[in-house]
A and B are shown apart, each in its own frame.
Chain A
């Protein structure tokens, strides 16, 4: 990869960095080969929190990694942080302080971008089985909201824009590839489990390495699914992806008319969204309940053909294909 990628200052090339793997030498070499952006999966700087998350790196590893990247000449450095942790034995005040320390540490580093995640328990994970065993691993709702707001406040004070529900960046330092996902630009994913979108279809490769390799070796289709989006599905995507961003969506979006217009009025009244010229965007309060907002809007847009249409590999429907083409 390092050998074949084109070099250009106009290109964004992000490398996801495990804090333990960071040395100034390595980073300098990558930068030399054209990597423009480093994303560090810090999650936390607190040893107790890291242990809780099962991370192998120590509390200082991420700090060292960010400093090394900066020293190697990287301007674009992003950091991942996780909140909403209920670490056993921690008091609410202790939890609040630990989060404030994580935020202060992060914004004291030479980063230009922050990705913020609330811990969620996904089915089938080790966390999930602990929760089923009676453990409480995530913070109560009120704490969740408070921690999210604390992050937004810390980011604002550090001069970061809250440009997407879980992304903050200094002006001019937004993630370009992430923005591509949210604005409907085409993207190509290579390798097992990689997802792609060509403007009309979304597909993903099978997730197992051997399955993927075997398909390629035998000339088969390595894709796990291909779906051709109906216009209605595409509308639903542009709506919810748009509302994730600080730019929001056009008020004239087809899914915001009819009954949904009443929902919009209610959302404005509840200060969950604001008008920005001809656009509609979430407030911080709105970002906190974005799923609920989308639910209400989707419900309001009923009868407009949002229901999914079956699309399987090799079963693309000519008529909907034409619809899509006709619309574009």
Chain B
């Protein structure tokens, strides 16, 4: 297909605004999928994605469309993950396109994620086609949403397409707008190959298969290719187009979207945003925008049953095949035994990984309190990256600690402004701006420490605004904060898995509620158990579990022997779920409780 007949586009929307339904309608209307192939929302393939109604892994699909001008066009829909955790991937998918459909719910209007995605699209210089979806809803208020979009984008009302993806209303208009308004790809067909990796899948037989957008030149089987981010070279064995499944093609030319097979062993070798070029005819430089994906949230993952350690290691290896953003390294906790410190892109990513480990690999896991990565500047020596609170040096050796801050964006009905401001202030937020986007709704921006968002922020926001606020954020920078490490000691032995780094003002409450909770959960032992919360050597909270004095003093005659032995055997079974710290036995519930501390 000639480049002027190609249109590469993405769809962006706030969650539940109907992105996937609209994609389904486009596929159906262009005859890309026969009716029997249609499942609702075919692009969201993974079970978890379908359940949660969000897209985690991106996919792409090619459609053929005969437009009103009588010509045949090739439309490449590049799907984007719909969550802040994956914003880098979203931006790389957008970089593979020339335009986006910006979908807004006719009842909800613009939401925080709409704006985040829009800003990413603008950064990538994309043509924006605004679409108001769900106009069939009884509470739809398309005029209001139209006004919001006109204000936001500075477009003419007539450029906004009103559709109902559910009913299939006005889908033609969307297809025509893609053809008419989104520019065809530009590129140099004769220049050395440059192709952008925007996704990659792992196939048992073919290895890592990158999904690419060819920007310059062409790629075909037999060609030696190289990646800019590393020095590896591979021979291409197959290229093709993505429809429902992979369809081999003789070549991929500039402007086209497809996949490439080159016996690449690991997905981590095909980094999203990286540039592929021809090994013997290298392009002068890579496409802009590539960066190493860096985890933002860390947590220790431990098997409940120590026997599952090897299974957990194997499971993580398998997940990593398909998810190069997942990082992990072995870690030993005196309390929880052998496990892994895992790095995630964000909280959703963490939940997904844990859920997949438990669901697909049948593992029973304990997760430590999630934390961010701290930049610790010691009095002497170089900056340390601390992603595990128990590795934090002593307070005396530290000059300052910096933590990641994000720019948080809220959109909400004005009635709830008070609740959101209060929450942000509590969470050490710095107010940036507040403005009305229409008569009833405001947009608020705050700079917040990421650490304050990864615990129960979303739940608190939801209850403060009865679910009417939308929230999104992007990483800003590292800033110095008055942070301390809080340790929990049991009879003087630190429970390393319960150490946390937090702001000094919050340490007292955290320490107190955690030690109180532990007091309830640690069973009485034969000796006194002292639970302390401490910052360095300063104890800020102390609880005592009184020793167990009482045992059954009773006869043990012939008839009691079996019963007592069975009791002992059963108790022993129960004990397996206890963890020994020093001389104290601590039930696993105690560790789980720490995760449920209300901050």
Contact = CB atoms under 8 A, between A and B. Distances in A.
5 contacts: A116-B553, A118-B550, A194-B559, A241-B561, A289-B551
A224 B515 CA distance: 49
B68 interface: no
Contacts, number: 105
B569 interface: yes
Contacts of B568: 236, 240, 294-295, 298
A141 B558 CA distance: 28
B555 A166 contact: yes
Nearest to A239: B568
Given A120-B552, A289-B526, A298 B561 contact: no
Interface string A98-122: 0000000000000000011110100
Interface string A202-242: 10100000000000000000000001000001001100110
B205 interface: no
B525 interface: yes
Interface stretch (A27-35, A62-70, A125-133, A181-189): A181-189
Interface string A145-160: 1001000000000000
Contacts of B561: 181, 195, 197, 202, 237, 241
Interface string A258-283: 00000000100010100000000000
A292 B526 CA distance: 7
Contact of A289 (B548, B558, B564, B575): B548
Interface residue SS majority, chain B: loop
Interface of B: 525-527, 546, 548-559, 561-562, 564-566, 568-569, 571-573, 575-576, 583
Contacts of A142: 549
Contact of A141 (B550, B564, B571): B550
B575 A295 contact: yes
A8 interface: no
A146 to B, nearest CB: 9
A165 interface: yes
B549 A144 contact: yes
A60 B573 CA distance: 47
Contacts of A116: 553
B558 A308 contact: no
Contact of B559 (A182, A195, A295, A308): A195
Contact of B572 (A144, A189, A290, A299): A299
A306 interface: yes
A288 B525 CA distance: 13
A167 B573 CA distance: 30
A59 to B, nearest CB: 23
A200 interface: no
Given A181-B561, A240-B565, A299-B572, A291 B551 contact: yes
B554 to A, nearest CB: 5
A193 interface: yes
A5 interface: no
Interface in A168-205: 178, 181-182, 187, 189, 193-197, 202, 204
A120 B575 CA distance: 23
A13 to B, nearest CB: 16
B530 to A, nearest CB: 16
A302 B575 CA distance: 10
Given A115-B555, A292-B551, A298 B572 contact: yes
Contact of B553 (A165, A182, A298, A299): A165
